[in-house]
Amino acid sequence: MTGVTLSRWTMSYFAAALAALIAAECLMAAGYGYPAAAIGAPETLVLVHIVALGWLSLLMCGALFQFVPVMIAKPLYSNMLPLPTLACLLAGLAALLLGFLQLAGVVTQGAPLLAIGAVLLGLGFSLVLWNLGRTLWAARPLPLPSHFVIVGLCSIGATAIFGIVFAFVLSGVTAYPHLVDVATMGLPIHIIAGLGGWLTFTAIGVSYRLLAMFMLAPELKGPTTRGAFYAGASALALIIIGGATAICLHGSLTVILSIGGLLGLAAMALYGTDILHLYRARKRRKIELNSRMAAVALGNFAATAALIIILLVFGALERNIAAVVFFVAFGWLSGLGLSKLYKIVAFLTWLECYGPVLGKTATPRVQDLVVEHRAIRWFVLYFLGVWSATAALLLAQPSAFRVAVAVMLVATAGIIVQLVRTRRLADVQAALRLPAGVRQPRLLFSWNNLPERKPT
């Protein structure tokens, strides 16, 4: 990847995302939102959207702006658009959160902040779709992992549309009957499109490429990979399109969700088979910390499927859905995100600093930017906190949940310290840290001093 163009604002996305994660964990540890409040209370909605939009979506956008070009060996369509995109997303999130606080009576009534926030978020995600869509369009025919990303991008479009409908109905902007029906019954579709389509399906596509790249494993494009794609894409299409149609035509949403759920479980099983093959077929015999912790997150993903099946068998899924969503968000998606961030920040920092002088002077290795034995304790603590918090939700123990989330908060702060040290080159030997031609990287953006290729 030496010579690849760096996405200038990816680090800004990562910083904003991590700030949102810390904020969400602080709120949960303080007893804000569920389980102290009802699952549909405005306070819970504030918390959910800080996690889903502020943390996970910003993390995903930052990663895609950098790694979609890597997946397809083509440059990003525009390196300028990510900054106004970030501004729209942050402004939209702020307005949306204030809108929820309006519903709670904390913020005085006035402008329809929910609707304003939804429109700004829709604009921000439209810019994401435009930039990445043009990038992918220029690279046809596309490798298989990028097909997962395309479906994920379609899913965030659907998620945003549902969110705008909810916001307009709740704000009183519209009372159109079909839209009211969607706002009343469409929450499961909104959640599945966001968590299942945008975040999980996109993460699956990116993980196929990153795990293979970082572990020196063969690229996968066999029948199990294609099967995972077709099963997952079919599940999402059925749930999103079929579900919306069923609501508008007063059909059975339960049947749609059940069939889509079975297809989704099949996709998860095929993906798990592929990941096991990647770990077994790797050429890098010593597994780095990021890949070991990613394996834990992937194990949590498999455990989620098992948990859903067990709860369905005992008829307890509906009353424990909050625990399932929490485990997906923090055990699977956040676990994978933090583990990959640990490698990505080091990798991009190394490319930015030492890529231009590689072969001209002595340079450190990527692994020289990190200290794994110091970081592993924070990852272990984080996952212990996640498992404990999930168990507390399943057992309806709110006090234990708050303690477990406090453990997650401490662990997350510890991981962030390691990321900052990596970005500041704090653990690189002094003799190799800043040779001639290398400058100290900025925390929030990349100098982007690698040779840039023009789109074709």
From the list 69, 68, 66, 62, the residue with the least C-alpha distance to 85 is 62
Residue type, position 69, single letter: P
Q: Tokens 């930015």 label which residue?
A: 352
Does residue 141 have a cis peptide bond before it, meaning omega lies within 30 degrees of 0? yes
Tell me which long-range contacts 417-424 makes (C-beta under 8 A, separation of at least 24): 418/342, 418/370, 418/371, 418/374, 418/375, 418/378, 419/14, 419/18, 419/341, 419/342, 419/345, 421/371, 422/342, 422/345, 422/346, 422/349, 422/369, 422/370, 423/11, 423/345, 423/349
Contact indicator for 330, 405 with CB cutoff of 8 Å: no
Q: Which residues contact 326 (CB under 8 A, 6 or more apart)?
A: 389, 390, 393
Instruction: For residue 435, give the 3-state DSSP assignment.
Output: coil
Task: Give the model's pLDDT for residue 304.
Answer: 95
What pLDDT was estimated at residue 2? 43
> What is the C-alpha separation between 121 and 113, in angstroms, rounded?
12
DSSP state of 361: B
Q: pLDDT tens digits for 119-159?
A: 999 999 999 999 999 999 999 999 999 999 999 999 999 99
How high is the pLDDT of residue 20? 98
pLDDT in tens, 192-213: 999 999 999 999 999 998 888 8
Helices 42-49 + 82-104 axis angle, to 10: 170
Sketch the domain layout of the chain as residue ranges: 1-142, 320-445
DSSP 310-322: HHHHTT-TGGGHH
For the chain, first and last CA: distance in Å? 19
Give CA–CA dist 274/280, Å, rounded. 10
Q: Residue 4's pLDDT is what?
A: 60
* Number of Cβ within a 10 Å radius of residue 62: 24
- Tell me the CB-side half-sphere exposure of residue 220, using CA atoms within 13 A: 32
Low-confidence residues of the chain: pLDDT under 70:
1-4, 447-456
Asked if 22 and 416 touch (Cβ cutoff 8 Å), the reply is yes
CB–CB of 9/65 below 8 Å?
yes
For residues 395 and 323, give the distance between their C-alpha atoms in angstroms, rounded to a whole number. Answer: 10
* CA distance linking residue 142 with residue 156, whole number of Å: 20
Q: What is the pLDDT of residue 454?
A: 40
- pLDDT of 455: 39
